[in-house]
A and B are shown apart, each in its own frame.
Chain A
Amino acid sequence: MNALKKINWSGWLFFGLLLLAWELGARGAPKLQLYFPPLSRVLVALVASVQTGALVSQFMITVGRFLEGYFLSAAIGVALGIILGYFRSVHQLFETFIEFLRPMPSVAIIPVAILMLGISDSMIVAVTVYATVWPILINTIDGVRHIEQVLIQTGRTFGLSRRRILWQVILPAASPYIVTGLRIGLSIALILVTTAEMVAGGKGLGFFILDEERSMNSGNMYAGIIVVAALGYALNRLFLALEAKALKWRHGMMARQAA
């Protein structure tokens, strides 16, 4: 059906024209080239810094921090979210606390993290976890609360243990909400890793990009940005593919209900 979707010719043409305008505009204004090198030079810089391994090692560092932070956030956010969503009294206890912390922009935690953990990997991961837990937590709470009580009661009637109710009733029923939280968390985690690397990092793509700007190597700076954008794009694509696979049963069920 959708496999034969036509290529968007006009869109690619427009994008190509923009790139061409960049190349020609930069070539035509040599004075600007310090800020605005031609695209071809950016691509050369990209290939060169990949070949020397400079960009690759920064990339691996950023990806490592991202994965660590993201999976920790997912584990914490989903576990806490299920507890807070299931036990109303626990939720009441923590509600004001959560409402108090949530409006603060998450990046404001960076100075505190530097103070407590110094300039280190664990600082960057901690900051990432703090920011990424929020959307996952809030969505999981919502998801658990929206489960029809009939489902849980049916499970109980059939004598399912608490553990089985959790794994076979609550988790699947709340999964669409959880997945939404995980998707929002994906881009937030990438934003926080790169930000923390900019503000206080000696390594990683965020640091690389800012450092190349400060040393006026704008070619390398743009190359770094292209790599970060590609990383963000790939992560999002990967997530969507996994989501389609993981939630396949649900789409099947929905289709059956509609039919």
Chain B
Amino acid sequence: MRWSNLRGVLFLIALIAIWEIASRSDLLNPLIMPAPARILGVFSDLISSGQIPWQILVSMKRAAAGYLLAAAVFIPLGIVMGLSRRIYCLFEVTVEMLRPVPPPVVIPVAILFFGLEDKMKIFVIFFSCAWPILLNTLDGVRSVDWVLLNTARTFGLSRAKTILQVVLPAASPQIMTGLRVSLPITLILVVISEMVGSTDGIGYFILDSQRRFRVAQMYAGMLSLAILGYTLNQVFNLLHRVLMSWHWGMMKRME
């Protein structure tokens, strides 16, 4: 968010003020759209009572497990598929068959196999992050300059060293793209899977609040999700800048 955009910030504040007034004067049904001040009050209560932090922690554990697992499996697979035409052909059809499956319909299958436990959500996230990570890694490895690979071979680098010191760094910008695209997907899928089959987590918390008609609590949960999404994005950008600083430095020098 760019706070320097004064007009934008003022506009947002004005919208919230209109909502507040409309809700207080019953122009908006306060049962469905409670006043923002009330939502903020409930939000701070739920923060200090530890309930929202706890639900978010539960969700984040699942999200992290699924996301990291997907990265650990599909980055190496993408590298192997990118380097070897034969292995690429072997998996191509299977990938093309599985890719059009919308991730939420995998939830019932995961429930059958894993019940309503954490494993179910982790699997669903793993499945849905698979394609962006795999396909971006694959593209990245394929676009590695052949001169680099040939040079490595000329210098007699072993296969493992070539992959770790030449291919991985050269493909890393696109691998990072895949990881970045997967971030919001992870958040969406953890929320969906908690809505469909769970007894805790922030997704469950929001839907459950709606079912019990605790409307302000529902909006407070959504607010916490927005903050979470924003924070995750910022953390990723920070990590990205630190990890990839060598890359930008190199690009600048080349210019």
A and B co-occur in one complex: yes
Judge whether B97 is part of the interface by a CB distance below 8 angstroms. yes
Q: Roughly how many angstroms separate A221 CA and B102 CA in the complex, as a whole number?
A: 14
B196 at the interface (CB under 8 A from A): yes
Known: A97-B15, A106-B188, A194-B104. A210 touches B1 (CB 8 A): no
Binds B, one of A147-155, A158-166, A225-233: A225-233
Is A105's CB under 8 angstroms from B229's CB?
A: yes
Q: Which residues of B contact A97 (CB under 8 A)?
A: 8, 11-12, 15
Cβ–Cβ contact B195 & A221, under 8 A: no
The reply to whether B192 and A101 contact each other, CB–CB distance below 8 Å, is no
A110-B207, A111-B207, A232-B100 known; A93+B8 contact, CB < 8 A: yes
B91 and A105 contacting across the interface, CB-CB below 8 Å: no
A254 within 8 A of B: no
Whether B195 and A110, one on each chain, are in contact in the complex, defined by CB atoms closer than 8 angstroms, is yes
Q: Nearest Cβ distance between residue B209 and chain A, in whole angstroms? A: 7
**With known contacts A10-B90, A93-B8, A221-B108, A198–B191 Cβ distance under 8 A:** no
Beta-carbon contacts of A138-158 to B below 8 Å, as 1s and 0s?
000000000000000000000
User: With the chains together, A185 CA to B225 CA distance in Å?
Assistant: 22
Contacts A35-B113, A100-B12, A103-B226 given; indicate if A108 touches B206 (C-beta within 8 A): yes
Decide yes or no: A187 and B102 within 8 Å by CB, A92-B7, A199-B207 being known contacts. Answer: yes
- For window 164-223 of B, CB contacts with A under 8 Å fall at 184, 187-188, 191-192, 195-196, 203, 206-207, 209-210, 215, 218-219, 221-222
Contact of B37 with A by CB under 8 A:
no
Partner of A228, one of B9, B15, B105: B105
Q: How far is the CA of A199 from the CA of B215 in the complex (A)?
A: 18
- A195 pairs with B104, CB closer than 8 A: yes
Residue A115 at the chain B interface, CB threshold 8 Å: yes
Assembled-state Cα–Cα distance A181/B227 (Å)? 25
Distance A35 CA – B110 CA, assembled complex (angstroms): 10
List the B side residues contacting A94 at CB < 8 Å.
8, 11
List residues of chain A with CB within 8 A of the CB of B94: 11, 14-15, 18
In the bound complex, residues from chain B placing their C-beta under 8 Å from that of A107 are: 188, 191-192, 195, 203
Nearest A residue to B106 via CB reads A225
* Assembly CA distance A97 to B2 (angstroms): 11
- For A106, A111, A224, A229, which residue has the most chain B Cβ atoms within 10 angstroms? A111
Question: When chains A and B are docked, how far (Å) is the Cα of A229 from the Cα of B107?
Answer: 14
Question: With A and B bound together, what is the CA distance between A224 and B191 in angstroms?
Answer: 22
A95 near B8 with CB under 8 A, answer: yes
Q: Is the CB of A112 within 8 A of B218?
A: yes
- In the complex, what residue of chain B is closest to A198 when comparing beta carbons? B196
A18–B91 Cα distance when bound, in Å, is: 11
Known: A10-B86, A108-B206, A112-B222. A92 touches B192 (CB 8 A): no
> In the bound complex, how far is the Cα of B210 from the Cα of A110, in angstroms?
10
Q: A194–B5 contact, CB under 8 A?
A: no
Q: Which of B133-171 contact A (CB under 8 A)?
A: none
- Check if A96 sits within 8 Å of B215, measured CB to CB: no
Asked whether A206 is an interface residue with its Cβ less than 8 Å from the other chain, the reply is yes
A8 contacts the other chain (CB 8 A): yes
Residues of B within 8 A of A218 (CB): 112
Decide: B100 and A233 in contact? CB cutoff 8 A.
yes
The answer to whether A167 has its CB under 8 Å from any CB of chain B is no
Q: Are B90 and A198 touching (Cβ within 8 A)?
A: no
Bound Cα distance A95, B233 (Å): 17
B191 surroundings in chain A (CB, below 8 A): 105, 107-108
Tell me if B103 is interfacial: C-beta within 8 Å of chain A. Answer: yes
Interface residues of B in 22-67 (CB under 8 A from A): 32
> Smallest CB–CB gap between B2 and chain A, Å?
7
Q: How far is the CB of B80 from chain A (nearest CB, A)?
A: 14
* Nearest-Cβ distance from residue B175 to partner chain A, whole angstroms: 20
Given A96-B12, A191-B104, do A15 and B222 touch, yes or no (CB 8 Å)? no
Alpha-carbon distance between A94 and B91 when the two chains are bound, in angstroms: 45
Given known contacts A116-B32, A221-B109, A11 and B184 CB-to-CB distance under 8 angstroms: no
**B102–A194 CB distance below 8 A:** yes
A-B pairs with beta carbons under 8 Å apart, 7 shown: A97-B11, A97-B12, A101-B226, A110-B195, A210-B108, A213-B111, A225-B106
Chain B interface residues (CB < 8 Å from chain A): 1-2, 5, 7-9, 11-12, 15, 32, 86, 89-94, 97-98, 100-109, 111-113, 184, 187-188, 191-192, 195-196, 203, 206-207, 209-210, 215, 218-219, 221-222, 225-230, 232-233
